[in-house]
Structure 1
Amino acid sequence: MNTEETLQAVPASDVRTASKDMLQKQLYAIFTQPTRGLHPVFAGIQEHLKFQVSLEREGILFAAGPMWTDDEESWEGDGLVVVRASSRQAAIEIAERDPMHKSGARTFSVRPWMINEGSTTVRLDFSSQSFEIL
């Protein structure tokens, strides 16, 4: 029998201390799922997308989009929305404003997410006035 203790959870402060030289940007992941199939989701998709764009313009939305099935061939309605918020409760309040959630077409859960590693690359071509996210 292994006498080494198996950790199940550690305080967030311990994780922050262990990664003190990293970004430690606190965001919130909103996992969203359909409640009554996809018909109600598609019925409200335009209002939902307008809401997402409004969050983007306000600087609240970090990223959002559908989550494909594992074979990458279809969509069963799951989505992920990552927002900038002051707390988990504030992120919940943002999610509650989404027309999809207000109508009951979708339900959600919110998890705090700390970004430590990664990168974003944007290519900007002056001549064509175009850009590409790489």
Structure 2
Amino acid sequence: MSEPQTTANDPAAGRVMLGAEVWALIASPAPGADRDAFPHHLRAHLDWIAGLEDEGVLVVAGPLTAGPDVGPGSGIMVVRAADEAAARQVANQDPLVAAGLRVTGVYRWRINEGSLDLRLVLSRSAVLWR
């Protein structure tokens, strides 16, 4: 994790922000992608995501469900990677990318603000969050 940088004229001066560096992989349908082909590759994609989660690479991921140009294959993944080349390697290993169904932009993202509340419900083996 990199140290947050502030200056005397910075409105964030005196605040301690998280400053966690991760990579946002923002995917959209590839131009001309066959919409009917997505379901045939979904299981491989989900298995791949589960593997990234098991390896500690995946922070969070999910499909985009509404917005400009959203379609089959639209989604966001946040991953841990040493550098841009490593993040691109992760993105290119996606079975949907390998099948030519989606394209993925790679962005370094510094997480500074926000909160996450978790509640473990042991009797239901559930994790609730907001």
Shorter-chain TM range is 0.7 to 0.9
Q: How does 1:55-94 map to 2 (within 5 A)?
A: 55-70=52-67, 76-77=71-72, 78-94=74-90
- What is the one-letter code of the residue matched to 2:26? F
Of 51, 54, 60 in structure 1, the residue corresponding to residue 51 of structure 2 is 54
Q: Percent identity?
A: 32
Instruction: Compare 105-114 and 120-129 and name the one that shifted more.
Output: 120-129
Tell me the number of residue pairs that the alignment of Structure 1 and Structure 2 aligns: 117
Structure 1 residues 122 and 38, CA, compared in 2 at 3 Å: closer, same or farther?
same
1:40 and 2:34 correspond: no
Q: Which residue of 2 aligns with 1:17?
A: 5
**Highest Rg: 1 or 2?**
1
Contact persistence 1:34–1:106 (CA under 8 A): yes
- What is the one-letter code of the residue matched to 1:124? L
Contact persistence 1:66–1:80 (CA under 8 A): yes
Q: Which residue of 1 aligns with 2:22?
A: 27
- What is the one-letter code of the residue matched to 1:26? E
Q: Which residue of 2 aligns with 1:112?
A: 108
Per-residue deviation, 1:23 = 0.8
Contact persistence 1:34–1:41 (CA under 8 A): no
Q: Which residue of 1 aligns with 2:9?
A: none
Q: TM-score, normalised by structure 1?
A: 0.77
Unaligned runs of 5+ in 1: 1-12
Q: TM-score, normalised by structure 2?
A: 0.80
Q: Secondary structure at the match of 2:81?
A: coil
Per-residue deviation, 1:47 = 0.2
Q: CA RMSD in A?
A: 2.1
Per-residue deviation, 1:88 = 1.2
